[in-house]
Structure 1
C-alpha cells in the first residue's frame, strides 16, 4: 500500500512539474513572439487604425491613470498620421459602466473629430477586442496601444488572427505597486490566450453587423452590444 501511494505521488509530482514547465514555456513564447513586433512610435507604419485597449474608468466619467496614457499615446500616433482612425475597445455591456464612450469623449476633448473615433462596445477581453476589430470593423493593418506588460499578448493574438499588427507601448508613467498584480495576472492570461488564439478560436460574446473602420465612427455612437 505504501509503495502504491509513493508511486502515485511520484507520478503526480512529475505531472505537476511538466505542467509548470509548459506554463512557463508558453508564457515565454507569447512574450518573445509579441515583443518582436513592438516598436517605437516614430517607427510605426501607416495603418488602418490605432486600437486602444480599454481599462478602468471611474464612476464620475474620468479615465484611470493607465487608460489616460493609452489614449495620450494613441492621440500622438494619430497626430503623426500613422492612422486616420482610432478604435477604442472596452466594456460597455451594461448602461451603468461605459469604458468606450468615456474614451471617445477624452479623445474628442483633445481635438480629434468624432468621425475618426470608432467604439467597440463589446471589447470584454483582449481576445474579443481583436476578434471584433478584424471581423466587425474590418481592420487588416493595426497599431495596438496599451502598456508593455499587456502589449506582447495583444500583438501575439492579433498576429495569430492574421492581422498585420504592431504594438506601441504606453508606459508614460510609473504605475506603482499595481503593476506587480498586473504582471502576475498577465502570465496566466498569456497562457489562456495562446490556446484561445491558436487552437480554440471561439467567437466573441457578440458579433453583429459590419461597421468598416474606413467609414464614419459616429456609426458606433451608443451602439450597445446585442
Structure 2
C-alpha cells in the first residue's frame, strides 16, 4: 500500500511540475509580447528635451514623496525635466498627476510646490489628485482634463509604457525620459525589471478598457492655464 501511495504521490508531483513549467512558459511568452507591443507602439515618439516637438501640456507622472513633502530623487528628476520643457517654451502648462488617496500623502500637491518654487508660475501648474497609476493618469488627462496632445515626463525605463497607454487612450503623446537616476544602479535596475510585469498589466488595462479608479467630472483647469497666452 505504501508503495502504491508513494507512486501516486510522485505522479502527482510530476504533473504539478509539468503544469507549473507550462504556465511559466505561457506567462513568459505573454510578457515578451506585451513588452514588444509597448516598444513598437512608442517607437518614434520618444525624444530629448532639445528635440521633442512642442505641445500645449507636459504631464509629469507621480512617484514617491517623503514624509516632509520632499520629492524623492526619481520624482525630482522628472520635475526638473518638466521645468526645462517649460523654460524652453516647449509647453505652456504642466499637469502633475499622482497619488493622493490618503489625506496625509499628496504627490501632486508637493509636485506643484516644487515646480512653483523653481520658477513655473502657479497658474501654469494643474494638479490631478487621482493619478493612481499610469493608465489612470492617461485616461484622466483625456477624459477629465481634455488634453489632446502632450509630452509625458517620467524615467526612461517607464516611458514606452506611458507613451503607449496615453496614445491608445486618444492622446497624441510624446515622451521625454530621465536617465540621470541610472546612477543609482540598484533601484534603477529593480524598477526596470518591474516594467516586465507592468507590461502585462498595461495590456490587460487596454484589453479590458477599464475606467480609472476615480473618474469624476470634466475640469477646465488645463484650458484655463493655456488661455493665459
Structure with the largest fraction of helix: 2
Deviating 4+ runs (over 4 angstroms):
4-12
Deviations 1:159-180 (CA, angstroms, capped at 9, x unpaired): 1112111000122342231112
Report if aligned partners of 1:51, 1:87 keep a CA contact under 8 Å in 2: yes
TM-score, normalisation: structure 1: 0.88
Please tell me whether residue 182 in structure 1 is matched to residue 191 in structure 2.
yes
Count of residues in correspondence between the two structures? 216
Report if aligned partners of 1:52, 1:88 keep a CA contact under 8 Å in 2: yes
Deviations 1:36-88 (CA, angstroms, capped at 9, x unpaired): 31112122222121000000011111111011110000010111111110000
**Unaligned 5+ residue runs, structure 1?**
218-226
Rounded Cα–Cα distance in structure 1 between residues aligned with 2:155 and 2:24? 32
- Equivalent in the alignment of 1:88: 96
**Unaligned 5+ residue runs, structure 2?**
1-6
Query: Which of structures 1 and 2 has the bigger CA Rg?
Result: 2
What is the root-mean-square deviation of aligned Cα atoms in Å? 2.1
Deviations 1:73-122 (CA, angstroms, capped at 9, x unpaired): 00101111111100001011121101111100101111111110000000
Deviations 1:145-189 (CA, angstroms, capped at 9, x unpaired): 000111110001011112111000122342231112211211101
Rounded Cα–Cα distance in structure 1 between residues aligned with 2:170 and 2:44? 16
